[in-house]
Amino acid sequence: MLRLGRRTFGDDETLMMAIVNRTTDSFYDKGATWQEDAALERVRAVVDQGAEIVDIGGIKAAPGVEISADEEMRRVVDFVAKVRAEHPDLIISVDTWRASVGRAVCAAGADLLNDAWGGADPDLAEVAAEFDVGLVCTHVGPQQPRTRPHRVEYADVVADAIATTVGLAERAVSLGVDRDRILIDPAHDFGKNTWHSLEVTRRLDEMVATGWPVLVSLSNKDFVGESLDLPVGERLMGTLGATAICTWHGARVFRVHEVTETRQVVDMVSTIRGVRRPSRAVRGLA
């Protein structure tokens, strides 16, 4: 069982987590939702497309101008409150590694803390426990927030990802986070070269086998671009290919830019897996 916000999901249900950036410089949207009105419109659009979760971020992942905790809060806290007011049942996630920001967004109505930098601030899990919200436990290897991987080595990247994420999840439970509100994320591209991300994708079933629900964040990332020699903006089909494999292995939550396309692929693969019925079945059966 997975519980996020007010909602409970069965073991075979998949969820779309739509990315909403309150940044000027994120790699894919390049500031398209920096303005609050545009960001609110983006939330409305992805809700209409069927996204169960929005993941709001105030800092781009890549290196760049330093964003203080105060500035990060200015970007996301009031916005979370407005989204909460407009969409009472929407699951609101905030992508942050800072406990101070986590505390402020939880007070504003967030349901899930997406700790995309893998426990860089160990107090973030305590905030999740304090507010009884969810937590994404992420593998970033040796990487620090807002740095790029450089010559990262693993004896076994999947084993490392499992050990790290399960360790973070168990720690969160020990701090009082509801076990049913925890996800693990291998974090493609984070602390990984393209070969690592491909191996994590190919062996995602091993993470699923831990029993913790797995979130994947594949959307338009460099491992897709390098696999296909395609720039940002031309990676949708590659992203969907990786999405299909992760769905086949049992991933539960998909952090995405394109909700409609991803939902179709996830539903199709889930139907092939036999964990989702066809929408309609008449052909050859009348």
Partner 1 sequence: MIVAGAVCPAPPLLLPELAGQEDVGRELREVCVRAVTDLLAQRPDVVVVVTVEDPVRSPSLPQRVAEMLLSGALDAVAAADRPRVEHLVVPADADTSDIEKLAGPLLERTDDVAILVLAEGSARRTEKAPGHLDPRASAYDEVTRAALETPDPAALLAQDVELADALLAAGHRALVLLAAATQSAAPSPVGDLRWADDPFGVMYFVVVWSCAS
- Per CB under 8 A, the segment of 190-198, 211-219, 240-248, 275-283 that binds partner 1 is 275-283
Dihedral of CA atoms 34, 37, 43, 44 in degrees, nearest 10, equals: -160
Closer CB to partner 1, residue 150 or residue 277? 277
Question: Is 280 a residue that touches partner 1 (CB under 8 A)?
Answer: yes
Question: Is 281 a residue that touches partner 1 (CB under 8 A)?
Answer: yes
- Per CB under 8 A, the segment of 157-165, 167-175, 199-207, 274-282 that binds partner 1 is 274-282
Q: How far is the CB of 207 from partner 1 (least distance, A)?
A: 28
Closer CB to partner 1, residue 23 or residue 270? 270
Closer CB to partner 1, residue 10 or residue 231? 10
- Here's the x/- map for partner 1, 219-258, by CB under 8 A: it reads as ----------------------------------------
Q: Confirm if 5 and 112 have CB atoms less than 8 A apart.
A: yes
Closer CB to partner 1, residue 16 or residue 214? 16
Round to whole Å and give the CA distance between 251 and 43: 23
Q: How far is the CB of 215 from partner 1 (least distance, A)?
A: 25
Question: Is 278 a residue that touches partner 1 (CB under 8 A)?
Answer: yes
Closer CB to partner 1, residue 65 or residue 282? 282
Q: How far is the CB of 174 from partner 1 (least distance, A)?
A: 40
Question: Is 272 a residue that touches partner 1 (CB under 8 A)?
Answer: no
3-state secondary structure string across the chain: CEEECCEEECCCCCEEEEEEECCCCCCCCCCCCCCHHHHHHHHHHHHHCCCCEEEEECCCCCCCCCCCHHHHHHHHHHHHHHHHHHCCCCEEEEECCCHHHHHHHHHHCCCEEEECCCCCCCHHHHHHHHHCCEEEEECCCCCCCCCCCCCCCCCCHHHHHHHHHHHHHHHHHHCCCCHHHEEEECCCCCCCCHHHHHHHHHCHHHHHCCCCCEEEECCCCHHHHHHHCCCCCCCHHHHHHHHHHHHHHCCCEEEECCHHHHHHHHHHHHHHHCCCCCCCCCCCCC
Residue 124 in tokens: 């973030």
- Per CB under 8 A, the segment of 117-125, 130-138, 245-253, 277-285 that binds partner 1 is 277-285
> Given candidates 37, 65, 274, 277, which one binds partner 1 under the rule CB under 8 A?
277
- Per CB under 8 A, the segment of 80-88, 174-182, 190-198, 276-284 that binds partner 1 is 276-284
Question: Is 151 a residue that touches partner 1 (CB under 8 A)?
Answer: no
Chain residues 84-113 in contact with partner 1, contact rule CB under 8 A: none
Which chain residues interact with partner 1 by CB under 8 A? 277-282, 284-286
